[in-house]
């Protein structure tokens, strides 16, 4: 999996490319959790190039959301393919996360 990262204003944008599964979740965890520890509170995760997510990936996102909540931060997800959005629905995660259709819509959630 490739992880793209950029900062736009006060928002860290993480773009995921490929598969987020048991083999790659640790790689993403090593990227995201230190950002929160360093004081970042606004995290946008762009799923436009993500092809697959497993329960390990879902667990990591839940952990990230909890960490951000503890520091009064926020996570927003965007640009999910329909079948990935269905995985979130089946797992019961859609009420937990703010999910938007595009990165532009997701950025507005932080205003």
pLDDT value at position 111?
85
Rounded to the nearest 5°, which phi and psi values hold at 57? -65, -40
Which pTM value belongs to this model?
Answer: 0.95
* Total domains present in the chain: 1
- pLDDT, tens only, 9-59: 999 999 999 999 999 999 999 999 999 999 999 999 999 999 999 999 999
Q: Mean pLDDT, the chain, as a whole number?
A: 97
Which CATH number does the domain housing residue 79 bear?
3.30.750.24
Q: Which range marks the domain in which residue 71 is found?
A: 2-108
pLDDT value at position 24?
97
């Amino acid at each position: 999996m490739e992880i793209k990262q950029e900062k736009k204003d006060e928002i860290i944008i993480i773009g995921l490319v490929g598969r987020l599964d048991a083999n790659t979740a640790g790689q993403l965890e090593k990227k995201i959790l230190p950002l929160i520890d360093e004081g970042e509170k606004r995290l946008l995760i762009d799923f436009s190039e993500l092809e697959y997510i497993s329960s390990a990936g879902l667990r990591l996102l839940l952990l990230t959301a909890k960490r951000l909540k503890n520091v009064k931060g926020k996570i927003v997800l965007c640009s999910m393919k329909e079948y990935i959005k269905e995985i979130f629905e089946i797992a019961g995660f859609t009420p937990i996360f703010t999910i938007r259709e595009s990165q532009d819509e997701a950025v507005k959630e932080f205003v």
